[in-house]
Amino acid sequence: MINSVGMEARRVGIFGGEDIETNKYSVEVKGRKSFIGERFMLQAEKNTKGDKIPLVIVHLTGKKHTEDLVLMRFCDFVECQKNT
């Protein structure tokens, strides 16, 4: 998946660590039939105007904001990587 969009990656999950390794990221991949974050993303997409990229930040009450989680579509992530 990541290699198909031009990012060099190596699948290493069978060794008990990260699922995918790139030169910049340590990737954990999760497959789910449903995910509450999808509703958050649909709301962000609905509210996005123009050519902006929808982004969801999930804050867990009681945690530091520096520990918040960021959610975006993979296609948008790829576009962001092309521009770096």
**pLDDT value, residue 68:** 98
Residues 45 and 81 in one domain: yes
Helix (H) or strand (E) holding 82: helix 74-82
Q: Which residues of the chain register pLDDT less than 50?
A: none
Question: Residue 37's pLDDT is what?
Answer: 96
Prediction pTM value: 0.78
15 shares its domain with 47: no
Asked whether residue 47 falls in the same domain as residue 7, the answer is no
Q: Are residues 14 and 3 in the same domain?
A: yes
Please state the three-class secondary structure of 41-67 as a single string.
HHHHHHHCCCCCCCCEEECCCCCCHHH
Q: What is the DSSP letter of 24?
A: S
Same domain? For 24 and 46 the reply is no
Q: What does the mean pLDDT of the chain come to?
A: 87
Structural domain for 5, as ranges: 1-30
Count up the domains in the chain and report the number.
Answer: 2
In this structure, are residues 59 and 68 in contact, taking their beta carbons and an 8 Å threshold? yes
Tell me what pLDDT residue 26 has: 85
